[in-house]
Amino acid sequence: MPDYLDDLRLAHVLADAADATTMDRFKALDLKVETKPDMTPVSEADKAAEELIRGQLQRARPRDAVLGEEYGIEGTGPRRWVIDPIDGTKNYVRGVPVWATLISLMEAAEGGYQPVVGVVSAPALGRRWWAAKGHGAFTGRSLSSASRIHVSKVSKLSDASFAYSSLSGWEERGRLNGFLDLTRDVWRTRAYGDFWPYMMVAEGAVDICAEPELSLWDMAANAIVVTEAGGTFTGLDGRPGPHSGDAAASNGLLHDELLSYLTRRY
């Protein structure tokens, strides 16, 4: 099996470059922000970070395809880098430090492309998480200064901490009642949002999390970090990986119960 460590090292280099670009414009008074056709914001920093990553990949991995939130798909082949230059743009443009650059390498496999490398870099929080297939998940400042992370061992829903992003998406999909039932039956709930709940699941600080509407670039890096930390990452339909358009992540012990609540319609 490939070890993917060279790809992981490259992903860290890409994240370092993106961090410098995004932090340079974070809280800038003259930051330019536009509204995309789907009515979500995009800043000049989103575009600059993705352009920078694409440029470095073109030089370092010219045969690999690249899929990014801002500029779509370029190239073909069995290897595809998936980029979200700023996950949490709404936070970024308001000066909230909870945002991250997500970088993943996916490889063609049975059932579609699957993530084999992921880096989640949140420079305003001073945090970074990463994983490579078969090598575990880690957090730290760099590859040489890292601690391995593992999901929790909480096995009872009544003892579990549940993280989510918002209520509106669940209501729009007719799943709000099941979501609310879940919040009543767990020990604790918090709306951290975006990439952060998945990283806390991987660290064992949170036990379950879910979101009802996502794109591949929102999920690919998170998925490999969670699974390499010993957790489970699926769609709400139970399909493993980041391909369902929504996500549920857990320590594995609580996954079936999590899905049973969030798929209720009444």
Beta bridge partners of 114: 107
pLDDT tens for 232-241 read: 999 999 999 9
Integer angstrom CA distances of residue 179 from 10, 21, 33, 151, 243: 39, 37, 33, 22, 21
Amino acid at 124: A
Integer angstrom CA distances of residue 184 from 16, 160, 180: 41, 11, 6
The overall average pLDDT reported for the chain is 93
CA distance 163 to 85: 23
Paired tokens of 254: 């609580």
Determine the pLDDT at residue 29: 79
Rounded to 5°, the CA angle 190-196-198 comes to: 95
Task: Reduce the DSSP state of residue 131 to 3 states and report it.
Answer: strand
Name which of 127, 115, 59, 123 is nearest 85 in CA terms. Answer: 123
pLDDT tens for 133-163 read: 999 999 998 888 899 999 999 999 999 999 9
User: 139-143, 168-172, 177-181: which has the highest mean pLDDT?
Assistant: 177-181
